[in-house]
Chains A and B, each alone.
Chain A
Amino acid sequence: NAGVMQNPRHLVRRRGQEARLRCSPMKGHSHVYWYRQLPEEGLKFMVYLQKENIIDESGMPKERFSAEFPKEGPSILRIQQVVRGDSAAYFCASWAGTANSPLHFGNGTRLTVT
C-alpha cells in the first residue's frame, strides 16, 4: 500500500495524558500537512512540515501541541496534557512538492479524550 498511513486509527486518552499521532507519507513525498476535523465540521489546517523543518505552524495552538518530521521515520503530532476539547479526527496529508499536484490524505486518527 503506497498511500498515506496513519496510526493509530483510534486513540483514547484520559485528560492530562499525552497523545502521539503518527503519519507516514506516500513514498517519495517529503511534505506533510496536519489537519483537525471536528464532527460535522470542515478541516482546520494545523501545521505544514518538510523533512526536519516546520514550514508553517500558524494553525497550531501555541501550547501543548507540537509536530515533527524527522529525517528518518514518520511525522509525529504530539498533544500533551490532553483535554476534552482535543477530541477530534486528525488527518495527515502528504504532498509531492510540485506545483499543481494534490494533497493525498490518510484515513485519520480519531482521538477521544475521556
Chain B
Amino acid sequence: GNSVTQMEGPVTLSEEAFLTINCTYTATGYPSLFWYVQYPGEGLQLLLKATKADDKGSNKGFEATYRKETTSFHLEKGSVQVSDSAVYFCALSEDTGNQFYFGTGTSLTVIP
C-alpha cells in the first residue's frame, strides 16, 4: 500500500542554518509528492510539489527533489529564518489522484 514516512521531530535550528527534513514514501504507482507547512493556529498550506521523477519543487527558498530510485522527497532550505518555525508535512497522492497520504509532520523551531 501507499505510505509516507517523515523524520521524527522536533527539530531546533539556529537562524541561517541549513535545513533538511527527510521524507520517504511507498507507492504502488507513480505518485505526486507534496510538502505542506502548518503555522500555529492555521491550516496546512501547500509549500511545493513534484509530479514525476527527477522533478524539483521549489518555493520561498525551500526545495525538494522527487527521487524515484531512493523513494525520497527530502525538504531542504539553505538558510532558515525564525519565520520558518512551523510544522512540515510530506504527502503523496496516488496516480489516480483522489487518495492522499500524509506523514506525521515534523515540527521545526528556528531560534535567533
**CB of A107 within 8 A of chain B?**
yes
**Inter-chain contact A48/B98, CB cutoff 8 Å:** yes
Q: Which residues of A contact B44 (CB under 8 A)?
A: 43, 91, 93, 103, 105
For the complex, count residues of A whose C-beta is within 8 A of B: 26
**CB of A95 within 8 A of chain B?**
yes
**Inter-chain contact A43/B43, CB cutoff 8 Å:** no
CA distance A105 to B104 in the complex (A): 17
CB distance from A48 to the nearest CB of B (A): 7
Of the stretches B15-23, B45-53, B68-76, the one at the interface is B45-53
User: Which chain A residue has the least Cβ–Cβ distance from B47?
Assistant: A102
Q: Which residues of B contact A102 (CB under 8 A)?
A: 32, 34, 46, 49, 93
CB distance from B78 to the nearest CB of A (A): 24
Q: Which residues of A contact B91 (CB under 8 A)?
A: 103
**Inter-chain contact A107/B42, CB cutoff 8 Å:** yes
User: Which chain A residue has the least Cβ–Cβ distance from B102?
Assistant: A43
Option from A91, A99, A103 in Cβ contact (under 8 Å) with B100: A103
CB distance from B46 to the nearest CB of A (A): 5
CB distance from A92 to the nearest CB of B (A): 8
CA distance A45 to B100 in the complex (A): 9
A to B CB contacts below 8 Å, 27 in the list: A41-B105, A42-B89, A42-B104, A43-B102, A43-B105, A91-B43, A91-B44, A93-B44, A95-B97, A99-B95, A100-B32, A100-B51, A100-B93, A101-B97, A102-B32, A102-B34, A102-B46, A103-B44, A103-B91, A105-B36, A105-B43, A105-B44, A106-B43, A107-B41, A107-B42, A108-B42, A108-B43
